[in-house]
Amino acid sequence: MNPLDQLPLLAVLLLCIMLQISFIELGFRYGMSRRGGGYKAQMAQVRAIMGASLGLLAFMLAFSFNIAQQHFEERSSAYMMEVSAIHSALRSSALLDERAESQARELLGQFTRTRIATIDALKAADVEHVVDLIRESEQIHGSLWALATTSIEDASEDSNMGMFAQSVLAMIAAHEARLQASLFNRISAVIWATLVLMAVLAMVVMGYQAGLTGTRSGLATWTLAITFAAVLTLITDLDRPRMTLFEVNQQLMFELEARLSEGVAQEPGIK
């Protein structure tokens, strides 16, 4: 996982702000040391480079934000697929015999409770517990699939029994899609490194330009640093599984778990 995943979002914001302010100050002091008779001749070039650097940085931020937004939408889509697959398995379990239906409902209830526990573990950044819960989910899938295949064999020519097996396969596919979207679809380390490098260089050039003139605006400096830091923080939150500002609404899963616990198979919906 990305090292930033372990940091609280506020810490990411403050770290980004302080790094940018530090490099602006570094550029400013270097610019002050380079002031001389020919510094006016450098101003046009430095301003052009500063404008180009800030423009490219803005482009990279927009590009990275778009990738992170897509990852968030994929997580939301995978979540809806999983809820739909669980509910389909719950409904089709009514086609099984009484003993198999009871086992299926118990396994589905256990699976939804495991999914909810996984969400809590992600929020707590407990990576080891998340891995254990994922393995437990896959074991439940195995038990459901074994139940489905046994029911099909016992039912001989009854084609309705295959509906439960199809629903279990849909659950497994949704589970894999969720893992892919949550844990593996991340912004590349190369993109992060390029983004950080461009931000550092742009801040240095901005500070250098101010140093050559011998004047700077504290308001402008802090405004720019906070603006870019805020966008970087939003990108970080959208891209990582442990989201703070952006969260997938888990109400459907909670309601489905409640209905499974009550033994009522109804269509899940947000109250």
Q: Which amino acid is at 66?
A: N
* Angle at 156 (CA atoms; ends 150, 158), nearest 5 degrees: 100
H-helix segments, the chain = 9-33, 39-92, 98-123, 127-155, 162-179, 189-213, 218-239, 251-262
Q: Which residue has the higher pLDDT, 16 or 38?
A: 16
pLDDT digits (tens, 9 = 90+) for 106-164: 899 899 888 888 887 777 767 788 888 889 988 999 999 888 888 776 655 455 557 88
Say what the pLDDT of residue 256 is: 79
Q: Which amino acid is at 173?
A: A
pLDDT band with cut points at 50, 70 and 90 for residue 268: very low
Average confidence score pLDDT of the chain: 82
Structure tokens, 194: 């390029």
Closest CA to 174 of 85, 93, 108: 85
**3-state SS record for 139-177:** HHHHHHHHHHHHHHHHHCCCHHHHHHHHHHHHHHHHHHH
Single pTM value for the model: 0.75
pLDDT band with cut points at 50, 70 and 90 for residue 271: very low
- Please, what sign has the CA dihedral across residues 251, 257, 262, 268? positive
Say what the pLDDT of residue 214 is: 79
Calculate mean pLDDT across residues 93-100: 82
Q: How far is CA 131 from CA 94, 135, 138, in A?
A: 32, 6, 11
pLDDT digits (tens, 9 = 90+) for 42-96: 777 888 888 898 899 999 999 999 998 898 888 888 888 888 888 888 888 888 8
Say what the pLDDT of residue 155 is: 55
| Res 218 pLDDT > 70 | yes
Closest CA to 233 of 243, 241, 223: 243
Name the DSSP letter for residue 124: T
* Angle at 72 (CA atoms; ends 259, 249), nearest 5 degrees: 25
Name the DSSP letter for residue 47: H
Q: Which amino acid is at 59?
A: F
Say what the pLDDT of residue 14 is: 93
pLDDT digits (tens, 9 = 90+) for 223-266: 988 999 999 999 988 888 777 777 777 777 888 778 777 764 44
- Tell me if residue 271 falls in helix, strand or coil: coil
Structure tokens, 190: 């190369």
